[in-house]
Amino acid sequence: MDKIDSITSKTVALPVENVDTDQIIPARFLKATSKVGLGSKLFADWRFDAEGKAKPDFVLNRPEASGAQILVAGDNFGCGSSREHAPWSLTDYGFRAVISTSIADIFRNNSLKNGLVPVVIDAASHAKLLAAPGAIVTISVADRTVTLPDGGKASFPIDPFARYCLLNGVDELEFLLSQDKEIAAFEKQRA
Amino acid sequence: MSMKPRTMFEKIWEAHLVRPPTADTPAILYVDLHLVHEVTSPQAFTWLRERGLKVRRPERTVATMDHSTPTTPRGRDGKIPVLDSAAAAQIATLEKNCADFGIELHALGTDGQGIVHVIGPEMGVTQPGEVIVCGDSHTSTHGAFGALAFGIGTSEVSHVLATQSLLQQPPRTLAVTVEGQLRPGVTAKDIILAVIARLGIGGGTGYVIEYRGSAIRALSMEERMTVCNMSIEAGARAGMIAPDETTFAYLKGRPRAPQGAAWDRAVAAWRQLPSDPGAAFDREEKFDASALEPMITYGTNPGMGIPISGDIPSATNATGEKALAYMGLQGEKRLMGHKVDVVFIGSCTNSRLSDLRAAASVFKGRKVADGVRVLVVPGSQAIKKAAEAEGLDRVFTEAGAEWREAGCSMCIAMNGDQLKPGQYAVSTSNRNFEGRQGAGGRTFLASPLTAAAAAVTGRVTDARDLV
Ligand code: SF4
């Protein structure tokens, strides 16, 4: 995994609450056996009409959203299905972080394993970001902060291990594999 | 030495700690049972191959095919035709992965096939005190047996395949206490829809729920599974119910349950699992079972539920307006009497024998209303057989409903069973998200009784009003 120290990008605002992973990537696109190319299906039913034409009013289809790597979304982002296809489609599309006032459990876990930084901030700071879509902000994983359009900063929680993995590009599976002795001892003691 | 009273969650968690959490690292939790299906596993097996890894405990791993498999009735050759080439490739991939890595597979067309959360309990591999995971958020279903069961992503599927372990941050605990007696016509599905309506779709985030109280104790295992199944719909990581005589009676004699002296030892251990008196939960929510009504959802997430005779709440923000607009509904109006195009009876929430019996009790002697399509989809091949042995299939087909093969079907609409844009469905499944049952489709979630009542009237109907 690539190391992530900080991300600076313009934002795109999606002020919808409870965005579930069925919206992020509808189930009919889950028949793939690889994770490549899912970005083209991101938010498929919000981005495209029944004929597959881009809906001009959807925020990701507006010219000013192009190139944004930070998605600012409403509360409880990523709820519902455990499909890891959700962060896969977001990262494949070009997103590197999601900011909200809360992020669903499984989605947050899945994001961390794919270099998509889940950022949970207080409602007042979140409102500032929603009110200024397109603002250039910096998320610092090292400092656990995000800059705000008014020059302020909001801090966000991230558990020390997740932060360590992002900063050092460590893959959790490598870490678990390194615990082979402990796992074997546990199995032996239970047998 | 006096021990601090512990919750059931804490007992199971502590018994599975390969390594407790430290200031710098999460806990390493051992997994007893890993369930696998075709949709969330292919990439995990690919990564194992890329790294030259084996499956650490194939004997603790069980696979089935359910999500992308068709449920269309078998052809003359007795085979279930897979028409979709992407689905066929996914099915073939799981077959190859299970063969290569030595994993037990209940393939499409075999007697053991079914929805992953239905067959685990049926086989008796789901047992009290276990840690159970699956690349599927409704893994919480298995918590009905007093197991810690939760959904994981595909990366974590690869972690469990390779190490039988997971990195976990400890969750908080939430007691949902339901006391009293349900009124006739009010079911386990109505309990859980009422719980989610109160907690909200994100209200349980970060928690493991333990359902307790006299109303929960009175439920059968199948009903307890319905309750635990939808824990994720409140955002909770897992839901669980303490094992008791009901649990043991369900498990006894199942093919994979312990037998003989091992059974007695297992039951003795399982009796130690329930939360100790005085064990502290981080939070508690109390419900009065006798005050519950049949519930139905009106919006685009499972937290948007109301008593069936109630008014649709008006939207209080843009998200609420978006939901009502998608559903084509207005606030301050009743949902009762609303037209229905499709009825889906199935899914890991409500596709077990008792659900089918409940639905059949409504269909018996009645006909499906004109213009309504009704799918009845058993959760497993075993349920299908058992239902046919009691003649339930004929009750459904004589009423004009379709009797299908086992699978997820219209719950997820990636297998050919789906709504058309704009259609309204009453579904016994667990998610009413936009497009969940087919792009543009609109879902009302409810119990099998309510779904069957809608099927025979063509409208949202309180089953208690049918005479
Ligand atoms: S029935 Fe629906 S919710 Fe259950 S496992 Fe299948 S797709 Fe998931």
B113-132 pLDDT tens trace: 999 999 999 999 999 999 99
Nearest to B322 among A16, A50, A183 (CB): A16
* Cα Rg of chain A (Å, integer): 18
AA identity, residue B277: P
Asked if B152 lies within 8 A of A176 by C-beta distance, the reply is: no
Asked if A173 lies within 8 A of B28 by C-beta distance, the reply is: no
Count CB pairs under 8 A between chains A and B.
173
φ, ψ (nearest 5 deg) of residue B69: -85, 140
**Mean pLDDT taken over chain B:** 97
Question: Ligand 1: which atom is nearest the Cα of residue B412?
Answer: 7
**Residues counted in chain A:** 191
Between the alpha carbon of residue A185 and those of residues A46, A181, B93, the distances in Å are 50, 6, 33
> What does the pLDDT average to over B333-347?
98
CB B44 within 8 A of CB B135: yes
> What does the pLDDT average to over B417-425?
97
Top mutation candidate among B229, B405, B415, B430 for ligand 1, by most atoms within 8 Å of CB: B430
Nearest residue on chain B to A20, judged by CA atoms? B433
DSSP state of A20: B
Cβ partners under 8 Å of residue A84, min gap 6 = A35, A110, A113, A114, B40, B43, B135, B153, B154, B155
User: HEC profile for chain B?
Assistant: CCCCCCCHHHHHHHHCEEECCCCCCCEEEECCEEEEECCCCHHHHHHHHHHCCCCCCHHHEEEECCCCCCCCCCCCCCCCCCCCHHHHHHHHHHHHHHHHHCCEEECCCCCCCECHHHHHHHHCCCCCCCEEEECCHHHHHHHHHCCEEEECCHHHHHHHHHHCEEEECCCEEEEEEEECCCCCCCCHHHHHHHHHHHHCCCCCCCEEEEEECHHHHCCCHHHHHHHHHHHHHHCCCEEECCCCHHHHHHHCCCCCCCCHHHHHHHHHHHCCCCCCCCCCCCEEEEEEHHHCCCEEECCCCCCCEEECCCECCCCCCHHHHHHHHHHCCCCCCECCCCECCEEEECCCCCCCHHHHHHHHHHHCCCCCCCCCEEEECCCEHHHHHHHHHCCHHHHHHHHCCEECCCCCHHHCCCCCCCCCCCCEEEECCCCCCCCCCCCCCEEEECCHHHHHHHHHHCECCCHHHCC
> What does the pLDDT average to over B260-285?
98
- Using the mean position of ligand 1's atoms as its centre, give its distance from the Cα of residue B411 in Å: 6
- Using the mean position of ligand 1's atoms as its centre, give its distance from the Cα of residue B48 in Å: 26
Residue ranges of chain A with per-residue pLDDT less than 50: none
Residue A24, Cβ neighbours under 10 Å: how many? Answer: 27
Three-state DSSP class for residue A161: helix
Query: Does residue B406 have a pLDDT over 90?
Result: yes
Does B411 contact ligand 1 (Cβ within 6 A)?
yes
From A160's Cα to the closest Cα of chain B, the distance in A is 6
Asked if B167 lies within 8 A of A161 by C-beta distance, the reply is: yes
CB B60 within 8 A of CB B103: no
A97 strand-pairing partners: A70, A117
Asked if A31 lies within 8 A of B86 by C-beta distance, the reply is: yes
CB B148 within 8 A of CB B130: yes
| Residue B76 exposed, middle or buried by CB count within 10 Å (0-12, 13-18, 19+) | exposed
Asked if B87 lies within 8 A of A31 by C-beta distance, the reply is: yes
Q: What is the pLDDT of residue A14?
A: 97
φ, ψ (nearest 5 deg) of residue A18: 55, 40
pLDDT bucket at B2, cuts 50 / 70 / 90: low
From B35's Cα to the closest Cα of chain A, the distance in A is 14
Which one, of B21, B33, B30, lies nearest residue B169 by Cα?
B21
- Using the mean position of ligand 1's atoms as its centre, give its distance from the Cα of residue B438 in Å: 14
Which one, of B462, B453, B454, lies nearest residue B184 by Cα?
B462
CB B211 within 8 A of CB B242: no
- Interface mutation vs chain B, best among A1, A21, A22, most B CBs within 10 Å: A22
From B169's Cα to the closest Cα of chain A, the distance in A is 9
Query: Does residue B239 have a pLDDT over 60?
Result: yes
pLDDT bucket at B243, cuts 50 / 70 / 90: very high
Three-state DSSP class for residue A71: strand
Nearest residue on chain B to A165, judged by CA atoms? B25
Top mutation candidate among B118, B380, B408 for ligand 1, by most atoms within 8 Å of CB: B408
- Interface mutation vs chain B, best among A100, A106, A181, most B CBs within 10 Å: A106
Nearest to A160 among B24, B84, B151 (CB): B24
Nearest to B154 among A20, A45, A84 (CB): A84
CB A37 within 8 A of CB A95: no
Chain A hits for B167, CB-CB cut-off 8 Å, are 161, 172, 175-176
CB B210 within 8 A of CB B7: yes
Asked if B137 lies within 8 A of A159 by C-beta distance, the reply is: no
Three-state DSSP class for residue A28: helix
Q: CA torsion, points A129, A133, A138, A142, in degrees to nearest 10?
A: 50
From A29's Cα to the closest Cα of chain B, the distance in A is 8
Q: What is the pLDDT of residue B75?
A: 85
* Alpha helices for chain A (secondary structure H): 21-24, 44-47, 85-93, 105-112, 123-131, 160-168, 172-177, 180-190
Q: What angle do CA B386, B387, B388 make, to 5 degrees?
A: 90
* Calpha distance B4→A163 (Å, rounded): 33
Own/partner long-range contacts of A152-158 (Cβ < 8 Å, ≥24 apart): A152/A125, A152/A128, A154/A121, A154/A122, A154/A125, A154/A126, A155/A121, A156/A119, A156/A120, A156/A121, A157/A120, A158/A118
Asked if A176 lies within 8 A of B28 by C-beta distance, the reply is: yes
Does B430 contact ligand 1 (Cβ within 6 A)?
yes
Asked if A20 lies within 8 A of B433 by C-beta distance, the reply is: yes
CB B14 within 8 A of CB B21: no
Asked if B153 lies within 8 A of A164 by C-beta distance, the reply is: no
pLDDT bucket at B347, cuts 50 / 70 / 90: very high
- Using the mean position of ligand 1's atoms as its centre, give its distance from the Cα of residue B226 in Å: 12
Measured between its terminal Cα atoms, the distance across chain A in Å is 36
- Using the mean position of ligand 1's atoms as its centre, give its distance from the Cα of residue A183 in Å: 32
Chain B hits for A28, CB-CB cut-off 8 Å, are 413-414, 439
> What does the pLDDT average to over B65-82?
90
Both tokens of residue A14? 């999606």
* Calpha distance B231→B3 (Å, rounded): 30
> What does the pLDDT average to over B127-149?
98
Instruction: Count Cα atoms within 13 angstroms, Cβ side, for A182.
Output: 16
- Using the mean position of ligand 1's atoms as its centre, give its distance from the Cα of residue B120 in Å: 14
- Using the mean position of ligand 1's atoms as its centre, give its distance from the Cα of residue B61 in Å: 19
- Using the mean position of ligand 1's atoms as its centre, give its distance from the Cα of residue A177 in Å: 31
Cβ partners under 8 Å of residue B449, min gap 6 = B185, B187, B294, B358, B359, B361, B362, B463
Does B66 contact ligand 1 (Cβ within 6 A)?
yes
User: HEC profile for B100-151?
Assistant: HHCCEEECCCCCCCECHHHHHHHHCCCCCCCEEEECCHHHHHHHHHCCEEEE
Nearest to B30 among A31, A172, A186 (CB): A186
Which one, of A6, A7, A15, lies nearest residue A101 by Cα?
A15
Asked if B28 lies within 8 A of A109 by C-beta distance, the reply is: no
CB B212 within 8 A of CB B241: yes
Query: Does residue B82 have a pLDDT over 90?
Result: no
Asked if A27 lies within 8 A of B414 by C-beta distance, the reply is: yes
> What does the pLDDT average to over B339-347?
98
> What does the pLDDT average to over B254-279?
98
Query: Does residue B3 have a pLDDT over 90?
Result: no
> For atom 6 of ligand 1, which residue has the closest CA?
B408
Asked if A20 lies within 8 A of B39 by C-beta distance, the reply is: no
Q: How far from the centroid of its chain's Cα atoms is residue B305's Cα?
A: 18
CB A41 within 8 A of CB A25: yes
Top mutation candidate among B65, B136, B383, B427 for ligand 1, by most atoms within 8 Å of CB: B136
Q: What angle do CA B403, B404, B405 make, to 5 degrees?
A: 145
Query: Does residue B1 have a pLDDT over 60?
Result: no
φ, ψ (nearest 5 deg) of residue B164: 60, 20
Look up the ipTM and state it: 0.96
Dump pLDDT digits (tens) for B8-17.
Answer: 999 999 999 9
